[in-house]
Structure 1
Amino acid sequence: MGKALSVVKNPFKNFNVESRAHKVISQAKPKPAPKYKADEATLDKLIKEYPEVYEESQKKNPELNKYLKNVYVTSQNENPKVPENPNRPLPANRSAVDIYEFGFQDPENVPLGKISLRNALQFITNHQADPIAATSQSIAKEHSIPEETVKNVLNYFKVYEVYVPVNRTAKAKFAGPSQPKVEIIKEVRKAIDSGQKEPGS
């Protein structure tokens, strides 16, 4: 419905638009934008209290116009060149930075005894998939990091796994231990004697 109305209204809106625009432009003084009531009240108050200042502001000052005509800004010298530091060159490529997989760029050189996030996630995943093949000893030897560090990483960090059931009624199967770590033991215990006698005894 909105599109149909716009199709009907547009020809009337654009009718004789050029002559109407020339009529508005050729006016001696354009109409000022409407003011807020509070601004109008403030202006009326200033006109009443300081009429001479208001009249002076409405007149053109020939001296100010003369000063404006005499103002010229010319550049005599060439733009100074900022010396570039070869140790810290400015970026030549100003295109947008790509979004990296882990939120930041992977380091090109990893020092001995350290490991990148990508490699750490890889050996954690390999260990979760096959703990017998990917042992802490083999991982430490492959990446040249201490075995104690590898054991701590494998102990405290895991990679998320997504389990999608075949249907809604299927029970979720997890790779973790089937037995719960905390067992709730229900045992009937005797009430503690407070030492106070019940009334009527």
Structure 2
Amino acid sequence: MGGRVARMFRNFNLENRAHREISKEKPKAAPRHAAPLPPAAGSSPEADPVNQRNAPLLALLRSVYVESTDPAAAPAEASKAVTADEAAAARRPLRFSLPGNFPGLAELTDVPKGKLTIAEALKALGSHQHRPNTWTPDRIAQEYSLEPRDAKALLDFFIPFKVEIIPPKTGTAKRIKAS
């Protein structure tokens, strides 16, 4: 109901108000900025200092010698010459895979050297967690064809399955019983 009343007041005497606005005198446009005229076709180049030749700068420009080579061309040619034996040597067979069939995951048979699958990373981290003296970063790097610094970073920054039980502040709080 309020919308109808508001519409009635808004549309009241609409034509007269529109004619009044249209008949008002229009404001004048702001004057345009005076732009310099382009030089005439017959003008001399001595008048414009930008177009004049500067002998010392021209001599310096002639003394500069630039030799350019395309760095992307050399590796592209080398990558084309890789044989099937070299490509197989750059990959290693899969060490460990997750049991079961997971939809959406392609079945891998080999992995590039220096890379790990998620299953292999979890296996390596779990082995190191259970037997840190046996599974050192150097041994993990050797087993999975990794760089030693990458294996050390893997063990330092990824900590799987670490559960910490924080004791309650009060003795009356309920505790989870270990079974």
Shorter-chain TM-score range: 0.3 to 0.5
TM (norm. structure 1) is 0.31
* Greater Cα radius of gyration, structure 1 or 2: 1
